[in-house]
Amino acid sequence: MSANIARELLRDGFDRVAETVRSVTSGTDASVLLHQPDPQSNHAAWLIWHLTRVQDDHLADLAAVLGGAEAPSRGTAHQTPAGQLWLEHGWAHRLALPYKEEDTGFGHDGQQVRDFDNGDSGLLSAYHQAVHDRTVQVLESLRLEDFERVVDQGWDPPVTAASRLVSVLNDTTQHAGQAAYVRGLAERALG
C-alpha cells in the first residue's frame, strides 16, 4: 500500500469521527450532553472529551517520536507528551474540569463521569476540531517508512505508527458512536 492511500484512508476515518462529534455537539443543550442514562454510564460530553483527549495525547506522542524523541519503553509509566493541545493551547483551562491536567479519562468510574460538569457544546466541539486539525497535519506529514516506525516499546509486540493510528481511530470511532447513542437516549429521557 502506498503512503498516499494509507493517509487517505486514515484521513477519511478521522474525518468521519469529526463529523459525528459535530453532529452530537451541534446546538445540543448542556442538560442533554451531561445526562447519564444510569449512574455508572458515561454521558455524551464526557465521551466527546475522552475521545478527544486520547486522540490529542496519542497523536502528540506519535508526532514527538517521529520527530526524533525516544519511544516510550516497557516498564515506564505513561509520560504526558509535549505538544498536546489540551495543555499547550489552553483547553484544560477553558473547560476547567475537576481532573488533573494530564488526565485522559482512562479508567474513570461513574462518579468521575458525574464530576465532569462542563456541557458547553461549543467548547467541546472546538477542542475536538483543533485536535482533528492537528491529526490531519500529522497524517499529511507521514512518509511510507513512518508507518512501520516503532512509536511505543511498552507493548509486546512494540507499537508501530500504523498500529497506533488504527488503534486511535478505532477508539475514537467507538466513543463517537456511543456519544451519539447517549445523546439520543438523553433527548428521549428529557423530552
pLDDT tens digits, 7-21 = 999 999 999 999 999
C-alpha cell at 144: 511510507
Q: Where are the domains of the chain?
A: 3-190
Sorting pLDDT into bands at 50, 70 and 90, what band is 1? low
Q: CB under 8 Å to 38, separation ≥6 — which residues?
A: none
What average pLDDT does the structure give for the chain?
95
Task: For residue range 125-181, list pLDDT tens digits in order.
Answer: 999 999 999 999 999 999 999 999 999 998 889 999 999 999 999 999 999 999 999
CATH number, domain 3-190: 1.20.120.450
pTM of the model: 0.95
